[in-house]
Structure 1
Amino acid sequence: MRVTLITDDSYPYVKGGPGDWCHRLVHGLDRHTFHVVALGSHERREAAYTLPPNALLHPLGDRRPAPAGRLARHGRRRAATTAAVLLCRGLLTDGEQGAAMFAESLRLLADLAAAGGAPLRGVPLPDVLLDAWQAARCEPALPRLSVRDARRAADHLDRALRPLAVRPPAADLCHAVAAGPALLVALATRWRAGTPLLLTEDRPPALDAADGTPAVKAVLLRYHRALRRLGYAEAALVASASRFHQRWELRDGADPAKVVVVPGGVEPVRYAPLETEPPAPAVVWVGQIAPHKDLHTLIRAFHRVREAVPHAGLTLAGPTTDIGYLDTCRRLVERLRLGDSVTFAGPAPSSREAYAAGHVVASSSIAEHTPDALVEAMLCARPTVSTDVGAVAEAVGDAGVVVPPGDPVALGAACVELLHDPERRRRLGAAGRARALRLFTVDGMRRAYDHLYRDVAA
């Protein structure tokens, strides 16, 4: 079967996260031929992954020039303006009427994009957006939209819709990894060629202008929500990474009969159980050092651990994505006088080596979509203490300790209890490995997607 796998500039160019997920999927499904469309790949020179023989990397598609004649340009501009009006009014109109206008606008823009170029080129989109904003009657009420806000939001929308011009190769189905630009490509292909669509989601789409004004954020939030809802309506099936993700998909209007939960998979052979513990009591954390990991709470929790277990150590292993946040963590360690008991280890050669540095694996995140690090720790038979966010409690089940987010007292107490109780550590570690082997193996994920591909293509 020919599968067009569409990614948002991740696989095969970016290590980790969605890139790892795609690589594991493609490598194990040899009976299928994958045409990988990596949005943004034209800006990169080297791939982070070597594609297997059953996968081919395709350029972004046919970029034929738009019609050059004056009458053709005038007709194109008029059609694009009509689509822009439907787009803006669809974003700002609640209910089925708004959804219908949004869908019609994208269909028109996909037709225009097929002729080449940015589909909204030549359209006074800021003016169209301002007109729609003034006419909108939304609940909750919209914030004030200035001319500057309209220009900025219009610029984001213009760039966001350009993937409609991408023309992937002919295939039996399109598999969009995330409801963003990849979904736009899959929708356009469905409308042009009738190619069925499978949508995978393991996290909400990122907001394109996190530092924008409330009005700009409102435009983009409504755009992403409308696009997701359209994707759920057009997709043959929606593969959700967890029941947590499935719940917000259903709240956004997905048909329950279409949504299938397929957890991400890990290679068990890479995470053999750890048979020994370090000589001194230790807590280890593994991940990317970033604000949403809430290491401040973990460091404050460890301060309480040291009061109960004086010789305990804390190892923070992983790359830094926010240098400023790393500096705040170091300053907090100094302020709490934790000294050398906290180690910023940087990226470990392997996750298993990082988990081997602790008796307990802790996670303090305030936002966590798919807790891959916890699944890896469970496979290594290390007991986990984690915050109840996202799909964490669902992944851990009764094989770990879950505490409220942002609570250093509860997090510290749970770590202390496990450090004092080797038998419970052993029991939770064994239960965690058994649970991970049952629910989160890459072979299970591949088998599930093999069945989904057949169902979608049929």
Structure 2
Amino acid sequence: MEMDFGRYDIVHSALAGFSGLIGIIQKLEHGASYILTEHAIYYKERIYDLVGCGDSYRRFWSMVFRKVSELNYYWADRIVTVSRSNMRWQKELGADEEKIRIIPNGVDVNRFKPISGKADRWSVVSITRIDPLKDIINLIEAMSYVVSEVPEARCYIYGPVTDHRYMDHCEARVGDLGLKDHIKFMGYISNPEMAYNRGWVVVQPSMSEGAPIAVIEAMACGKPVVATDVGGVSEILGDAGILVPPRNPRTLARGILKVLSDEELARELGLRARMRVLREFPMSRIVGEYREIYHDLIRAHGVEGNTSRDLETRSCLKPHSGSDLSLCRS
């Protein structure tokens, strides 16, 4: 089967996975520049997905995923990563350090901002997809310890279900622990800034992350964050939140209780978080850094003219919702 993908000056993939193969083909056939951005390490997260599979199946797909990632790293002209933690993984998987540039995730600080009077005093909020990698069970079990000390505590979990079997497991665990009055699954939300502002504390309980945008969004809303120390989370939080080990519900509960029980600490962490985002993660700064990469590659193609001047309005700098691939066509 032959597929015509057209001809492009720049291909930009958001995964070092199969979608990136289009960029490699365009580079080999038409001389396109290929940009690779990894928010989370594709190979690492696929390995987590293979947990519980048979040995032969796991070995085969582990090899395939690794080779696909290595191909992406080898042929990419620029590799953008969102954290130093990701960079270490990429180098271990063979990426050339000379091609790697760290550009953190950013948020719209005018949309994600504190809203006075919205917080429920004893509310815990988490915005995440319902997926084993996000370790919702960690948060559910932590809430059992929280509720034993603060019976007023309520946890609101927002986000889409990507694994329905895991969702069933989460709901069963809530029932087993007698937490149906304390933990609510709220589903997808189109205005997450309102949910963050509802919380007294925001929690990220994952077992694996790149540099989670949800943590940055919560910080931009002036919320204290309790998060597991995975991926680039510590690079985001700095001294503006509480880090705990992953897969440890008791320690996660202690972090949550620390914020719930100390209003002054909650205010101080929230203020530090907002100021850190304004300084380090405004979307305008992040877009500017990506634009610089695009300009460099366009100049290398010798098509600076109108293409460079019109870059701000072309599809390659617009969000591609639900897609891990964008194309800049000449």
TM-score (norm 1): 0.60
**Cα offset, 1:256, TM superposition:** 1.3
Separation in structure 1 between the aligned mates of residue 14 and residue 5 of structure 2, nearest angstrom: 16
CA distance in 2, matches of 1:355, 1:405: 22
Change (3 A) 1:177 1:277: closer
Amino acid at match of 1:242: S
Which residue of the partner structure matches residue 203 of structure 1? 40
Q: Structure 2 CA distance, aligned partners of 1:324 and 1:170?
A: 41
The residue aligned with 1:333 is 174
Q: CA deviation at 1:279?
A: 4.8
Matched, 1:397 2:238: yes
Deviation at 1:215, TM superposition (A): 2.9
Match of 2:200 among 332, 354, 359: 359
Write out per-residue CA displacement over residues 101-154 of structure 1, whole angstroms, 9 at most, x where no aligned residue: xxxxxxxxxxxxxxxx26xxxxxxxxxxxxxxxxxxxxxxxxxxxxxxxxxxxx
1:445 is matched with 286
Structure 2 CA distance, aligned partners of 1:175 and 1:407?
37
Deviation at 1:313, TM superposition (A): 1.3
1:321 to 148, 162, 182: 162
- 1:240·1:260 contact (CA, 8 Å) conserved in 2? yes
Structure 1 residue 166 displacement after superposition: 4.3
- Within 2, Cα distance between the matches of 1:367 and 1:319? 18
Question: 2 CA distance for matches of 1:216 and 1:310?
Answer: 46
What is the letter of the counterpart of residue 169 of structure 1?
R
Equivalent residue, structure 2, for 1:129: none
For 1:316 and 1:358, how far apart are their aligned partners in 2?
11
Are 1:187 and 2:24 an aligned pair? yes
Q: Deviations over 1:225-282 (max 9, x none)?
A: 2333233233222111221111111111222111001112211121121323545412
Does residue 14 of structure 2 align to residue 177 of structure 1? yes
Q: Do structure 1's residue 433 and structure 2's residue 271 form an aligned pair?
A: no
Q: Percent identity?
A: 33
Return 379-388 or 436-445, whichever deviates more. 436-445
1:301 is matched with 142
1:167 aligns with 2:5: yes
In the TM superposition, what is the alpha-carbon distance from 1:413 to its structure 2 partner?
Answer: 1.0
Deviations 1:74-110 (A, max 9, x none): xxxxxxxxxxxxxxxxxxxxxxxxxxxxxxxxxxxxx
Q: 2:58 aligns with which of 217, 221, 227?
A: 217
Q: Is residue 240 from structure 1 mapped to residue 81 from structure 2 by the alignment?
A: yes
1:226: which partner in 2? 67
State the Cα distance separating 1:337 from its structure 2 match.
Answer: 2.2
Kindly provide the amino acid, as one letter, of the partner of residue 34 in structure 2: L
**Equivalent position of 1:50 in the other structure:** none
Distance 1:177-1:300 versus aligned 2 partners, 3 A rule: closer
Are the equivalent residues in 2 in contact too, given 1:197–1:456 (CA < 8 A)?
A: no
Shift of residue 292, structure 1, vs aligned partner? 2.0
CA–CA distance in structure 1, aligned partners of residues 210 and 14 of structure 2: 15
Given that residues 240 and 262 in structure 1 are in contact (C-alpha distance below 8 angstroms), is that contact kept between their aligned partners in structure 2?
yes
Offset at residue 207 of structure 1 (A): 4.2
Contact 2:157 2:185 in 1 (8 A): yes
Shift of 1:416: 0.9
- Classify 1:335/1:174 alpha carbon distance in 2 versus 1 (closer, same or farther; 3 Å): closer
Residue type of the partner of 1:271?
A: F
* Structure 2 stretches lacking a partner, 5+ long: 301-330
Larger radius of gyration, structure 1 or 2? 1
SS of aligned partner of 1:271: coil
**Larger RCO of the pair (alpha carbons < 8 Å, separation 6+):** 2
Alpha-carbon offset, residue 323 of structure 1: 2.8
Q: Decide which of 385, 410, 416 is 2:226's aligned counterpart.
A: 385
What SS is found at the alignment partner of 2:185? strand
Q: Report the CA distance shift for 1:327/1:228 in structure 2 as closer, same or farther (over 3 A).
A: closer
Q: 1:230 to 1:332 in 2, by over 3 A?
A: closer
After superposition, the C-alpha distances for 1:188-219 in whole angstroms (9 at most, x for unaligned) are 22222222222222223364994864334333
Q: 1:212 to 1:276 in 2, by over 3 A?
A: same
Unpaired stretches in structure 1, ≥5 consecutive residues: 1-116, 119-164
Shift in alpha-carbon separation, 1:212–1:193, aligned structure 2, 3 A: same
Contact 1:317–1:345 (CA under 8 A) maintained in structure 2: yes
1:121 matched residue in structure 2: none
CA RMSD of aligned residues (A): 2.2
Q: Give distance in 2, aligned partners of 1:236 and 1:256.
A: 12
Q: Which range moves more in the overlay, 323-332 or 260-269?
A: 323-332
* Structure 1 contact 277–359 (Cα < 8 Å) conserved: no
Q: CA deviation at 1:405?
A: 0.8
Measured in 2, the distance between the counterparts of 1:301 and 1:212 equals 28
Q: Answer whether contact 1:198 1:456 (CA < 8 A) is retained.
A: no
Q: 1:419 to 1:212 in 2, by over 3 A?
A: closer
CA contact 2:41–2:89 (8 Å) conserved in 1: no
Taking the aligned partners of 1:306 and 1:220, their CA distance within structure 2 comes to 42
Q: CA deviation at 1:379?
A: 0.5
- Equivalents in 2 of 1:304, 1:419: separation in Å? 13
2:314 equivalent in structure 1: none
Q: What amino acid is aligned across from residue 299 of structure 1 in structure 2? A: I
